[in-house]
Amino acid sequence: MNLGVYAVGTGNHVSGWRFPGAAKSSEEFAIFKTIADSCERGKLDFLFVGDSLAFVPEQHPGQMLRFEPLTLHAALATQTSRVGLVATASTTYSAPFNIARAFASLDKLSGGRAGWNVVTTGLKEAAGNFGMAAPMDHATRYESATEFVEVVQGLWDSWEEGAITTNVETGEYFDKTKVHSLDHVGEFYSVRGPLNVTRTPQGQPVLVQAGASDDGKNFASRFAEMIFASQLDKEHAKEFYATMKAKVAEAGRNPDHCKILPGFMPIVGRNEEDARKKLSELMRLAVPEVALKMMSSRFGHDLSGYDLDGPVPDLPLSNDIQTHAKVAFAKARKDNLTLRDIYNQVAVARGYLFACGDAATVADVMEEWFADRACDGFVLVPPYFPAAFDEFIDQVVPELQRRGIFRTEYSGFTLREHLGLPVPANRYSERTP
């Protein structure tokens, strides 16, 4: 299976940072370096850094304040040698040329380990930071994101392999026939090109995507090489997995070249009782108002007026993120859950799947989902760092290795090699006889 970690200095549990010994900031390089070292010790595929473009007081502490992801990864690239570096960047509030250039640079700086988590940013607080009164509507965000990614991919192909000749004798630095302008004029963007960075070690950085609304799924089927999924129920995850693999095939791509990895929170103890004790302590430390606000932001609606012991209300999907609400509503309907059940799930794992127990119990859940084709692996969302992640690396990873479902050594260097993804052909080289 493929495994990565969603790195948040303050941990992914709503009260993770309050746990004894836990890191308390997402603005310290040292904690990210520690997480990256653990990734490489455990032979993980990637370290994933999410992002937000506004300070929102009711957000999870790890989302309120954080490093800009590409800047962080540029620093991590110098301190690591194998782990993939996935950074989140927004299509709504960036220019394609900047994004193409920044990720191409990271791919070169890291020796082929860059991945881009493409997000459209529906967060209403972000609009005001970019001179807009309100976010673009959901459908338009995905339409412009589609054109944005087409342009970025076009720019990444600007330079064919071998374009740099550095002929000291003749003074020819590059072969003009192997450099191509894009001359794109579309509905949302006009970009001339070529990019001022040559072809990168991976050909193109890996494209990652996380939205699972209908528009999000269409977008993913065209572009995503890895989907960061959010699933709470194995049967729903199997449906999502089968649907997405079929949609990828319909889009003319190989379904094996789109890895589907749900978020997963492991709470690992020496035994069941020890793990349960950790979970109870985390829940004891959770501030109810904060957890409630977090649940409201996950759903895109203020839920403070609803009875926690009543049914999950039937609410329309919001303009921001639809995925988490869809997944939680479906699970609530299937298992007849109350709002409190969902609250507990969101407070614990921000709405992702979680397992609590000894290493074998946690590995059992992962193996079952993997074997039943509910996923190709997981994005780990540890409740706090570094201890909870290290317990996973040092206890659960060896268990997965013993079962033969996770690598014992890296067999490649690039993120594409870790994920079993091909290097995309350069569109211009393909045409050359």
- 36 sits near ligand FMN (criterion: CB under 6 A): no
Q: Which of 223, 228, 369, 392 binds ligand FMN (CB under 6 A)?
A: 228
Three-class SS state of 343: helix
- 122 sits near ligand FMN (criterion: CB under 6 A): yes
Three-class SS state of 377: strand
Q: Is the CB of 7 or the CB of 321 nearer to ligand FMN?
A: 321
Q: Is the CB of 127 or the CB of 359 nearer to ligand FMN?
A: 127
Q: How far is the CB of 26 from ligand FMN (least distance, A)?
A: 12
CB 340: neighbour CB atoms within 10 A? 13
- 353 sits near ligand FMN (criterion: CB under 6 A): no
Three-class SS state of 338: strand
**C-alpha to C-alpha distances, 184 to 103, 119, 148, nearest whole angstrom:** 20, 22, 11
Distance CA(230)–CA(248), nearest Å, equals 18
Strand partners, 338: 311
Q: Taking CB under 6 A as the rule, which mask of x and - marks residues 161-200 in contact with ligand FMN?
A: ----------------------------------------
Q: Is the CB of 182 or the CB of 237 nearer to ligand FMN?
A: 237
Q: Which of 14, 100, 191, 212 binds ligand FMN (CB under 6 A)?
A: 212
**C-alpha to C-alpha distances, 374 to 1, 359, 362, nearest whole angstrom:** 12, 20, 16
Q: How far is the CB of 378 from ligand FMN (least distance, A)?
A: 12
The vertex-80 CA angle with 370 and 35, nearest 5°, equals: 60
Segment interacting with ligand FMN, rule: CB under 6 A, options 10-18, 206-214, 237-245, 273-281: 206-214
- 72 sits near ligand FMN (criterion: CB under 6 A): no
**C-alpha to C-alpha distances, 213 to 50, 219, 250, 261, nearest whole angstrom:** 19, 10, 18, 16
| 384 contacts 17 by C-beta, under 8 angstroms | yes
- 12 sits near ligand FMN (criterion: CB under 6 A): no
| 65 contacts 26 by C-beta, under 8 angstroms | yes
Q: Which of 88, 202, 361, 414 binds ligand FMN (CB under 6 A)?
A: 88
Helix axes 323-335, 339-349, angle to 10 degrees: 130
In single-letter form, the type of residue at position 231 comes to Q
- 92 sits near ligand FMN (criterion: CB under 6 A): no
Interface with ligand FMN (CB under 6 A), residue total 20
Q: Which of 158, 198, 221, 323 binds ligand FMN (CB under 6 A)?
A: 323
Applying CB under 6 A, the residues found at the interface with ligand FMN are 50-52, 88, 90, 119-122, 210-213, 216, 228, 230, 263, 321-323
